[in-house]
Amino acid sequence: MHRDDLFLEFVRVVEKAAMACARTMGQGDRKYSDQVAVESMRQEMESVDIDGTIVIGEGERDEAPMLFIGEKVGKGGFAVDIAVDPLEGTNLCATGATNAIAVLAASDKGGLLNAPDIYMDKIVVGPSCKGRVDLKAPVADNLSAIAKALDRDVEDLVVVVLDRPRHERIIAEIRRVGARIRLIGDGDLSAGISAAVRGTNVHAVMGIGGAPEGVITAAALRCLGGEIQARFRYRSDDERARGERMGHGDEDRVYTTEELAPGENLVFAATGVTAGDLLQGVRFFGGGARTHSLVMAYQTKQVRFVDTVHMFDRDSPPRVRL
Ligand code: FBP
């Protein structure tokens, strides 16, 4: 992936997916929201000059009609592996809650871990805390290391945790040491990116969420200089067998950011679907829409925020202040 403008094509792909599912915001049908995002992303991908292979997608070939693992996408060109989450936070979109995004990561071949769609236990921190935390250490130790690195008290930290019964213990532990908690309904990927960006008031993400989200988070964190550590968490023999088949049998193994997303040519692109901490949601107006995206390239060390006005019909341009 050496074409400098390729990243703009990826922005277009996530913008289109975001606009498609943003139309369904608040309609209470998460599956439908996801479906339109998937269809739109799949279609837009066809116009990109890549010879792409989906390595993280909507599921195995027999369970997902589109963007399944192993599917070929693009109209030919650079060989790239692609991890997609056309709508991260399907419930967030279906209820109009904050932080739903359309997102993808692309890399040279082999640059994104092939992870099954099961859970991972994760800890995510920003650049100043890189190398200071340890997933296997007690929560209190990690929080005190994060506080020290950020030159503040533990009480000043905000930790994002998915609001799930499985996190009862970790939540109790964070409360015991006095850090603040933001419980979220969904979306540990966008929370992970926020943790790596100063000014979001998110200092860490902790707990168990999806492994695919973990890999895409890692791609973003490579670009931003943050850190994720993660280990697989299996809930059944079937999940363990799937993990083992992909070479991830060891539940004790902690994967580093570089192991989750080892590529040297990584590109990350995300567009806000609903309003969020980092990205604005899609705004529609007569004759067009406005989107807000984040696009990053590891090799060129560029982080761009892209504000796009999409005109649906140039003959009747949207009434919007550019
Ligand atoms: P969807 O986009 O598939 O709705 O997933 C959202 C999400 O909250 C992720 O951000 C998170 O990693 C995962 O689901 C958590 O899984 P679960 O809802 O099963 O706890």
Q: Is 60 helix (H, G, I), strand (E, B) or coil?
A: coil
Residue 122: which residues within 8 A CB-CB, separation 6 or more?
135, 188, 192, 205, 206, 207, 208, 209, 214, 217, 228, 229, 230
Instruction: State both tokens at 11.
Output: 């922005």
How crowded is residue 33: how many other Cβ atoms within 10 Å of its Cβ?
29
pLDDT in tens, 23-41: 999 999 999 999 999 999 9
pLDDT in tens, 31-76: 999 999 999 999 999 999 999 999 999 887 777 889 999 999 999 9
Pocket test for ligand 1, best of 34, 161, 162 (most atoms within 8 A of CB): 162
In the reported structure, the alpha carbon of residue 144 is separated from the centroid of ligand 1 by a whole-number distance in angstroms of 28
pLDDT in tens, 290-322: 999 999 999 999 999 999 999 988 877 767 666
- Rounded alpha-carbon distances, angstroms, from residue 318 to 140, 151, 279, 309: 52, 47, 22, 9
Q: Return the CATH fold of 6-110+266-311.
A: Fructose-1,6-Bisphosphatase; Chain A, domain 1 (3.30.540)
Q: Is there a common fold for 6-110+266-311 and 119-258?
A: no
Q: Closest residue (by CA) to atom 9 of ligand 1?
A: 187
Pick the CATH number of 119-258 from 3.40.395.10, 2.40.420.20, 3.40.50.970, 3.40.190.90: 3.40.190.90
In the reported structure, the alpha carbon of residue 33 is separated from the centroid of ligand 1 by a whole-number distance in angstroms of 14
User: Which of 149, 158, 148, 127 has its CA nearest to residue 227?
Assistant: 127
Q: What is the pTM of this model?
A: 0.96
Residue with tokens 């369904």: 24
Name residue 314's amino acid. R
Residue ranges of the domains in the chain? 6-110+266-311, 119-258
- 256 burial (CB, 10 Å; 0-12 / 13-18 / 19+) is middle
Q: Which atom of ligand 1 is nearest to the CA of 90?
A: 4
